[in-house]
Amino acid sequence: MRMKFNKSRQLLLTTAASLLAAGLIAACGTATVDFVYVASSKAAGQYNYGEIDVFEINGISGAMRQIPTSPFPSGGRNPVAEAVSSDNTNLYVVNQDDNTIVQFLIGSDGKIYPQNTVNTPGVYPQAVAVNGSNLFIADTYQPLPTCSNANPCSGSVAVFPIEPASGTGSSAARGGALGAPAANGSLSYWPLCQYGYVSPADSAKCKAGATSDVLVPTAVNVLNSGGNVYAYVTAFDWTAGGGAFSGVADMLGTVNVCNQKPSAYHGDSGYIFGFSVGSGGALSPLNGGAPIASGSLTLPCGIASASDSSGAYVYVTDSTNGKVQGYSVGANGILSLLPSVQYNPNPYPAGNQPAAIVVDPDYPFLYVANAQDGTVSAYQISDGTLSCNQAVSYPQAQASSTNSAPPFAAIPAGAICNLGSVENAAGPGTYDAGIQPVAIGIDPSTSHFLFTVNFLANNVSDFELSTSAGTLINTQRSPYESNAQPTAVAAIPHNRAAK
């Protein structure tokens, strides 16, 4: 039996339904707090470009959904890194196989529009960061005529100034375009040198040393500290003991590069290079251009790096040993290892192959994506020290440890970061993500949601973050499907307001 309505009642119902739909649409629109940009490296389309999925996050439920017309072409092959401009109006996508950076204008609806493409000074760009009016890029190889996959050389870092908006009316020019890279003498980049530069005044030539190893950059981290700007480039030594090298395919596009050939680097051979950033993005090397994290500061394989919002601390993941190493930033930009404290020795335990790291900009928490485990490790930050309650085994811990020197009591074997064994171990724990998470981010509007990009699962995991405890819970319908082989993530606030 069907109920019949007269025309006036039908009109009223239609109007009410239309108003309800409009209200729901408006509510959904205002509930969007962020746009999230996920780069997928799998070739697609006419030119075999990668793709950029654009998601919006609902601020009430945390649910993510792709906006209409998503995905968008990445403008090049194999996108591996992303960054957004300081004013949240531009997205920069690094396409590794084309050696390019593509600038996209971000519309008010989250859609992206390609504007300009520039080539990086070196070969195979690997990492990118934006700070103020400068974009920093790390290339796997320097642009030397003798450098090739068969005969690799060490990488380099370059700085592109970001052009500001100019003019008015019909002569107005949008900001965000990348200018010519900052000059380093006759070069447009700064080489990464195992033994530093030949002289403080010459940052273009590497000083000769006992060996000529291949140093591969993996991350760029730029921070403001004490009125200064510092750039830190994490790198590892890929040189094989016998001089053999298996080619660029072994060290690019994967998070377990250090673990593929444990004998292919010289012991604890991870490095951190430091630079102070001057006018126009010009770099001045710290420590004469030699690594500022060597000797006791060496880490076997630094893959990802992050810093807290105050610029006082830097954290680097060690993919080989499954740890996070913490440093304090000195007045001159030089890094010093953070001291170990009871039950929280530095370096701090993480999962297997920690591939990405992010520090909450508003709350005292740090999160690490562990690629091999498919998990996120969460930590609480107190005066730079990371504390955790991960139920993990730590066989390296001894019943008596030098890390527990007075005034601290001895650290029981296996008790580090194990809440079941240690009553005063504090902080959040470990949470399941997708298969091989390789990038991680926090929503810039509220710092209330965290997301990971899962390379082998072809999706994005989304969590609601407790701003009081740092714990994570899955949001509605997480994970969310992306295009194939996602590699990078960046996000902007919906209203563009910078906190």
Q: Which residue has the tokens 């126009």?
A: 280
What φ, ψ does residue 208 adopt, rounded to 5°? -70, 150
- Which is more confident, 328 or 419? 328
Distance CA 19, CA 26 (A): 10
Q: Which residue has the tokens 């509007």?
A: 445
**How much is the average pLDDT of 231-246?**
65
> Which tens digits make up the pLDDT trace of 8-40?
444 444 444 444 444 444 434 458 899 999 999
What φ, ψ does residue 296 adopt, rounded to 5°? -70, -15
pLDDT band at 474 (very low <50, low <70, confident <90, very high): very high
Beta strands in 75-214 (DSSP E): 79-84, 90-95, 100-106, 112-119, 123-131, 134-141, 156-161, 190-191, 197-199, 202-206
Per-residue CA distances from 6 to 11, 15, 17, 70, 152 (Å): 9, 14, 16, 43, 80
pLDDT band at 347 (very low <50, low <70, confident <90, very high): confident
pLDDT at 491 over 60: yes
Please provide the size of the chain in residues. 499
Per-residue CA distances from 96 to 127, 154, 302 (Å): 9, 16, 20
Calculate the average pLDDT of the chain: 80
User: Contact at 8 Å (CB) between 270 and 318?
Assistant: yes
SS3 390: coil
- The pLDDT value recorded for residue 303 is 84
User: Contact at 8 Å (CB) between 101 and 169?
Assistant: no
- The pLDDT value recorded for residue 300 is 59
- The pLDDT value recorded for residue 400 is 32
Q: Which two tokens stand for residue 72?
A: 């968008």
In degrees to the nearest 10, what's the CA dihedral of 25, 29, 30, 32?
140
User: What counts of helices (H) and strands (E) characterise the chain?
Assistant: 2, 34
**How much is the average pLDDT of 424-442?**
80
- The pLDDT value recorded for residue 497 is 54
Q: Which CATH class is domain 32-165+173-493?
A: mainly beta
Which of these, 140, 158, 281, lies nearest to 214 by C-alpha position?
140
**How much is the average pLDDT of 53-58?**
96
Amino acid identity for residue 84 in this structure: V
- The pLDDT value recorded for residue 191 is 95
pLDDT at 243 over 50: no
- The pLDDT value recorded for residue 372 is 92
- The pLDDT value recorded for residue 162 is 97
Distance CA 393, CA 389 (A): 12
pLDDT at 283 over 70: yes
**How much is the average pLDDT of 126-142?**
96
SS3 398: coil
pLDDT band at 146 (very low <50, low <70, confident <90, very high): confident
| C-beta contacts of 405-413 below 8 A and 24+ residues apart | 408/341, 408/342, 409/342, 411/342, 411/343, 411/345
**How much is the average pLDDT of 208-225?**
88
User: 199-228 b/e with 16+ CB inside 10 Å = b?
Assistant: eeeebeebeeeeeebbbbbbbbbbbebeee
SS3 58: strand
Which of these, 431, 415, 424, lies nearest to 470 by C-alpha position?
431
Centre a 10 Å sphere on the Cβ of residue 476 and count the other Cβ atoms it contains: 13
- The pLDDT value recorded for residue 459 is 97
Q: Which residue has the tokens 């994290």?
A: 293
- Which is more confident, 243 or 108? 108
**Which pTM was predicted?**
0.85
- The pLDDT value recorded for residue 270 is 79
Distance CA 393, CA 386 (A): 17
- The pLDDT value recorded for residue 408 is 34
DSSP track, 280-343: GG-EEEGGGGS-SS-GGG-BS-EEEEEE-TTS-EEEEEETTTTEEEEEEEPTTS-EEEPPPBTT
- The pLDDT value recorded for residue 261 is 41
- The pLDDT value recorded for residue 123 is 94
> Which tens digits make up the pLDDT trace of 59-103?
999 999 999 999 999 999 999 999 999 999 999 999 999 999 999
> Which tens digits make up the pLDDT trace of 435-461?
999 999 999 999 999 999 999 999 999
**How much is the average pLDDT of 146-156?**
87
> Which tens digits make up the pLDDT trace of 256-278?
445 444 333 344 477 899 999 99
pLDDT at 251 over 70: no
- The pLDDT value recorded for residue 404 is 35
